[in-house]
Each structure stands twice: as structure tokens, then as C-alpha cells.
Structure 1
């Protein structure tokens, strides 16, 4: 009897040990799976514009904003600007003059201070919808209020280091556009390749289509590929 009780006790201990091992294996697998699910590789989507350009206004309104309304969580969005880097004191020349440079800086400050594209793209789209008025303070204040941005925060960004900070943002942005070979406002690049251009009121180089659903389709496909999902 004592022998059988001893054997039974050893069996029970072994069973408990096995259950504990299975519990920790399951927990480890769950944690690994959770870490895997947390990996979210977004698709680069970049739009190159000039703030006082009617083509940029129409490009944002017709394609970029409707697209972002549907897939903003799947893209790494960036708004970049087109101009010329110079050796002058301010270092940047804008096609539509100094007021355009100020508009560009205002949008870059919005992106810098409010990196959520739903905020700074909405603000930028609001400004460019009335591009003739850029950089009027009243326009900036109204657009900031409409999209939940603090105008004083934007103003502090623009005036930081007596304007040198904002000009540095613009210089870097303009140089980046030059480095990737973009000269036309508006140029949309998807996954670091030109996806579509809107120039002189016409869509160009839009092999995949120029409608929001076309761009959304391409983004979703590239996003799924980036996650390693196959169907």
C-alpha cells in the first residue's frame, strides 16, 4: 500500500510538472505571437508641393486627402516642398516668392509640432484651399482652430531662433525634394517611387490610375506585402 501511494504521489508530481511546462510554453508562444502582431510596417507615401500652387491645392483635394481619410493608419506620410537652395542668407528661393516660403514653413511647423498626419495634413489642406491668402495670420488662425492646432505653438515654431529654425526645416525639405529628383508640384511618391503627378491641371504618370480608390488599392496591396500577408 505504501509503495502504491508513493508511486501515485510521484505520478501526480510529474503530471503537475508537465502542466506547468505546457502553461509556460503556451504563454511564450502567445507573447511571441503578440510581438509578431505588433510589427506594423507602413508604406511610405510622400507628397511634394508648393504652398501657393493651384495644382497642389487640386492634388490634395482630389486625391491625397480622400486617400488619407481611408488609409492613414497604413502609410508613413510626409509632406515635402519644392524650391531652390541658394547661397543667400535665407538659403531658399520659392517659385511664388517669399510669401510661399512662409506658407511652406507654416506647414512644416505644423508637421513638426503635430506629427499626426490627420492633423497637419488637414491644416495644410485648409491653408492651400485659399492659397492666394497665404500666409495671412487670419487664415492660419482659422485653419488651426478648425483642425485642433494651437496657433501660438505654430507661431513660436516659425519665430524660433529669429526664424532660422523654420528656414532650416524648409531648406532640408527643399533639398530632400531635389535629392529624390522631384521638381513638379504636385508629385505623389508611393514606396519611394513616383506614383502620380498633377501638373497644369492634368494628371500625368499615373499608371495605376488617378482616383482615390486606385491609390488606396495600391497602398493596401503594398501594406499587406510589407506585413508578409499572402492570399
Structure 2
């Protein structure tokens, strides 16, 4: 993915387009397509891990498959995980521009809805990975249904999230996510940030700027070290 894509390369996506596309992709039937102190301490010790992607980006697929998912399978209990998206906001119509077109904006919102409805990363991250494996088909209904079934997500709940407030809810999540990435100066899909710092970037089919290594075991090692340090400070 280019590091600083120009605005003209993004396809604009706003609430009106969202409602129209939502009806086409999901609502048309013919489309194939209690609280303990110990828990507080553990939560405080969790290490922030944030991954910035575009839903229809091959580098995002490779980054999730080769680095993020294998690491999370080992240290998900030690991580405060967040999935964020890259794009551009447009002030004139409160919309969002996505590099790979309006269907990518829909894919981004769909993955944000999965995280909103199913906040356990083991569920929504697996769903996101499933979509990413066949990213060119995002957001076809058949793909979404298959990935939802595979990872225990209710398609109807995802659809309800997508259509909530006539699409404004999902669009609000996407604008907030895109704004966050921009404020953090993240422009490359996929960028992995650990403990609020860039840990690794997947760009053009290769990993770069991965101080400490780009393998899952390298990321796991760093997460465990930061977790043990934070847990020691909180005790």
C-alpha cells in the first residue's frame, strides 16, 4: 500500500451512498452474494495493540495472517486489541473516502460492526481474517454469511448494525476510526502499533520498520515483556 495516497485516489462514500449500497448488498433477496479487583488489575496491565488496515488491501490480509492472528492466538489475554481503518474524511458531506472504492468502505464498516457487536477479538478478528482471505469479494452477502457462520457471528445482528440509524451509526464508526488513524499519522495498510508505537508495517508484500523482528514469536515476546512490566507496576 502506498504510504501517502493522494485524495484523488480515494473513492468518496457518504451516508446517502451507504443507504443505497446497503440495500443493494444486504437487503435485496436476489443478491448472491460482576466485577472483581483482580480483574481491574489485569485489565490495567494489558498491552495496547492496534492494527490499522483497509478491508480490501492484500497487505492487510498478509499482515493479519502472518503476524497478528498467530500472535493473538498466544497472547490475546494480555492484549488490549483494537482494529482501526485508514481512509480520508470529507467535511463537505460528512463522508469518507476509501482507496479501493465504496465497497471497501462497506467492508470497513462491516468489520467495525463485528467488533462492536462481538467485542471479543477472538471472534471479530477471525471474522475479519476470513473476509480478508477473499477480499476482492467484500462485501458480497455470500462471503459475509460464510465468514459469520464460520466464526459464530449472527449475520442478522451484523446487518442490523449496518442499517442502524439508516446507516449513520456505521458511518459514524468509520469516520471516527479513519480520523483516529489520521491523527496518529498512520497512512499505510497494514500498520501494527504496540504500546502506542509503530511495531511493524506490511507494505507492498513485505514487512518493514519491524524493530525486534516481523515473526509472530517476535511480537509475542515483546507483548509478554510489556505485560509483565505493566503487571509489576500495577501490583
Q: One fold, TM greater than 0.5? A: yes
Is 1:225 equivalent to 2:196 in the alignment?
A: no
Q: CA deviation at 1:87?
A: 2.1
Q: 1:124 aligns with which of 128, 133, 150?
A: 128
3-state DSSP of counterpart to 1:181: coil
Residues 192-207 of structure 1 correspond to what in structure 2 (within 5 A)?
A: 192-207=196-211
Q: 1:37 to 1:81 in 2, by over 3 A?
A: closer
Q: Which residue of 2 aligns with 1:154?
A: 158
Structure 2, unmatched stretches of 5+, are: 1-35
Q: Which residue of 1 aligns with 2:62?
A: 58
Q: 1:205 to 1:48 in 2, by over 3 A?
A: same
> Structure 2 CA distance, aligned partners of 1:145 and 1:36?
34
Is 1:81 equivalent to 2:85 in the alignment?
A: yes
Q: Which residue of 2 aligns with 1:145?
A: 149
Q: 1:198 to 1:118 in 2, by over 3 A?
A: same
Q: CA deviation at 1:39?
A: 1.2
> Structure 1 CA distance, aligned partners of 2:157 and 2:200?
33
Residues 21-100 of structure 1 correspond to what in structure 2 (within 5 A)?
A: 35=37, 39-40=41-42, 41-100=45-104
Q: Deviations over 1:53-97 (max 9, x none)?
A: 000000000000000000000000000000001124351000000
- Equivalent residue pairs, number: 196
Q: Which residue of 1 aligns with 2:29?
A: none
Question: Which structure is higher in helix share?
Answer: 1
> Structure 2 CA distance, aligned partners of 1:155 and 1:37?
33
- The runs of at least 4 consecutive aligned structure 1 residues that moved more than 4 Å come to 34-38
> Structure 1 CA distance, aligned partners of 2:181 and 2:39?
34
> Structure 1 CA distance, aligned partners of 2:37 and 2:87?
43
Q: Deviations over 1:137-189 (max 9, x none)?
A: 11000000000000000000000111111000000000000011100000000
> Structure 2 CA distance, aligned partners of 1:163 and 1:199?
31
Which of the two has higher C-alpha Rg?
A: 1
> Structure 2 CA distance, aligned partners of 1:227 and 1:87?
42
Q: Could you say what the CA RMSD is over the residues aligned between the two structures, in angstroms?
A: 1.3
Report 1 or 2 for greater relative contact order, CA contacts < 8 Å, sequence distance ≥ 6. Answer: 2
> Structure 2 CA distance, aligned partners of 1:173 and 1:37?
27
Q: Which residue of 1 aligns with 2:170?
A: 166
3-state DSSP of counterpart to 2:48: strand
Q: Which residue of 1 aligns with 2:8?
A: none
Q: CA deviation at 1:35?
A: 4.2
Q: Which residue of 2 aligns with 1:216?
A: 220
> Structure 2 CA distance, aligned partners of 1:42 and 1:89?
38
Is 1:179 equivalent to 2:170 in the alignment?
A: no
Q: 1:134 aligns with which of 119, 132, 138?
A: 138
